[in-house]
Amino acid sequence: MYLTDKMSAKQALTSIIKSEKKRIVCTTISAILSVVAEVITWVSLYFALNSVFSTQQPSIHFALMGVAICARYFLYSVSVWQAHLAAYHIIQNLRQKLIVALSQMPTDQLVQYHRGDLEKRLNEDCQSLEPLIAHHTTDIITGILLPIALIGCMFTIDWQLGLIALIPLPMAVIAQTMMMRGFPARQKKYNQVVANMHKAQLEFLRSIGVMKLFGVDADSYRQMSTNMTKHHKMVRTYTKQMVGAWVTFITLAQASLVLVIPFAVYKMTQGVLTPVDLTMIVILCAGVLKPWLDLTQVFAQIQHSFQSVERLLPLFSSAQKSPSELLSEPVTQLRCHQISVMRGSYQVMDSLNVTFRRGDCVLLQGASGSGKSSLLATLYGELTAHQGDWFLNGQAVSAMSEKQRSEYIAVVDQHPVFFNASIRENLTLGNSEAEDSEIMQVLEQLALAKLVRELPNQLDCAMNTSEQDFSGGEKQRFAIARALLAAPSILVLDEATSHLDKSTEKLVLEAISQYSSQQIQFVISHGNQALSMANRAFSLTNGQLIEQEETVCA
């Protein structure tokens, strides 16, 4: 399965289906053979009825009919079974590919997606392929072949009646095609309206406590109300078009039965057809309708699957960086060269130039919104600078892959994230070889060792069950411990001690300073505690980085 954002939805869906080629081929062959078995059933019935009317022994024909029915049941079951297996494997592989693609996506692109949006694409959009592949693959094959085969049988009985039965089909297809013009665009718009409505509802649910706390009235929910109104309007238009096209197709398709029966009765009165011929013509004409009806149900699912694939494709970025070579020596110098960042039309920082060396503990200060976090985000890849770059020992950071960048840089912000794993596994993400003694030593420095020892399973305690008992400050210290255990060349602390009281913050900063001689450390803080550990301090004002001449540790 090969997917890139350069593909069309049709190309991508073809690639997805080809990834289970053997099962899809088995599904196709079984479906075709089931159609053959069904045709044999009706042919056997025709000869059996003729035998009855001619006072001949029909048992062999009825026996063949029974065998054909059993064969049709078996082959159809195999086709559906293989289609389901193919669908489940495709969805599993697609999700794995999607997770790999997300892990390889540049951070500055990844942060543009809302978590809920990614969850929807990973779960709902992937799962939406299951009905098409598992349930409708066989229906599409039989829906196309069976009517052709049955009308062919009608042609062998009477070619004129077969032609009359066939005429309404192209009329029905043409009418439905004309009525469904522009449907894909409308469905895309409908899906966008639904997504906006869901987003507004989630925002409402998240903020309802604050709304009630401040007594905000219903006027504050205009966004949700507007999106719901748009949704209702789209539903009316969407339903009107779908129902109109479906009813038109059904009406025209059923016309074949209405047209054939009078002509068949007339031919029988003229002695051209026998009663058996008339009976089979009616049965075959009615049998043509069900596959046609099944195909009308599949059309909407096909469109929905194309929409889902279109939403998934942007996540498979084709622009992959060629990894540069790792630095042959430890990082001794970090240079910020001509860095400029724009926020819309506003220039946050303009052509910043500064050099840092190993052992520097740098304090960044400035008003909220001045660009402190944005500057460092261009270093660790969450934001792309409009101009300029960072250089590690003279090597451009932008040329590094995400994995290479993580070898040198660790970041702790004020909103740490932990995974559904043990404390040990969470803390050793950047250093899987860390021994328990090393982990406990770092935890001791951050005043967390006692807390961990009191947990039922200590380092083996699952974060998803114990984290509810951790305060915001404790979670921040765990995140700092994880960064220290990774032993990065560059450590970024972005308001990483914002939830700590002064005494604990002092203890944590002292622990961090013990590693400063082997690192370049950046600290963003609005408090004065960090000033005591910094040997360089900068103020970011009006887009310019101004170094203070004196610090406590300088």
- pLDDT at position 230 is 63
Report residue 170: phi and psi, to 5°: -60, -30
Residue pLDDT, tens place only, 277-310: 888 888 887 777 777 777 767 776 777 777 778 7
> Is residue 324 one of the residues assigned to a domain?
no
Does residue 430 share a domain with residue 391? Answer: yes
Percent of the chain at pLDDT > 70 equals 77
Instruction: State the total domains in the chain.
Output: 3
Q: What is the 3-state secondary structure (H, E, C) of 181-198?
A: CCHHHHHHHHHHHHHHHH
> Is residue 184 one of the residues assigned to a domain?
yes
Q: Check which CATH number belongs to the domain holding 461 and give it.
A: 3.40.50.300
- pLDDT at position 71 is 93
Q: Check which CATH number belongs to the domain holding 71 and give it.
A: 1.20.1560.10
Does residue 78 share a domain with residue 207? Answer: no
| Per-residue tokens: 266 | 């007339």
> Is residue 31 one of the residues assigned to a domain?
yes
Strand-pairing partners, residue 494, are 524
> Is residue 540 one of the residues assigned to a domain?
yes
| Contact assessment for residue 102 and residue 310, using Cβ atoms and an 8 Å cutoff | no
Does residue 280 share a domain with residue 248? Answer: no
Q: Is the pLDDT of residue 251 over 50?
A: yes
Alpha-carbon gap, residue 405 to 103, rounded angstroms: 13
- pLDDT at position 552 is 47
> Is residue 95 one of the residues assigned to a domain?
yes
Does residue 198 share a domain with residue 149? Answer: no
- Tokens 């960072």 belong to which residue? 390
> Is residue 444 one of the residues assigned to a domain?
yes
| Per-residue tokens: 477 | 């210290």
Least confident of 14-28, 166-180, 234-248, 478-492: 234-248
Average pLDDT across the chain, whole number: 77
Q: Residue 463: which domain range?
A: 333-548
Segment 305-327 mean pLDDT: 69
- pLDDT at position 51 is 86
Does residue 213 share a domain with residue 145? Answer: no
> Is residue 289 one of the residues assigned to a domain?
no
Q: Is 429 exposed, middle or buried (0-12, 13-18, 19+ CB in 10 A)?
A: middle
Q: Is the pLDDT of residue 467 over 50?
A: no
> Is residue 323 one of the residues assigned to a domain?
no
| Contact assessment for residue 311 and residue 88, using Cβ atoms and an 8 Å cutoff | no
Amino acid at 386: H
Does residue 102 share a domain with residue 154? Answer: yes
Most confident of 50-59, 65-74, 92-101, 540-549: 65-74
Does residue 254 share a domain with residue 204? Answer: yes
Does residue 298 share a domain with residue 248? Answer: no
| Contact assessment for residue 143 and residue 290, using Cβ atoms and an 8 Å cutoff | no
Q: Is the pLDDT of residue 147 over 70?
A: yes
Does residue 308 share a domain with residue 249? Answer: no
Does residue 470 share a domain with residue 436? Answer: yes
Segment 64-76 mean pLDDT: 92
Does residue 243 share a domain with residue 192? Answer: yes
The model's pTM is: 0.64
Does residue 385 share a domain with residue 251? Answer: no
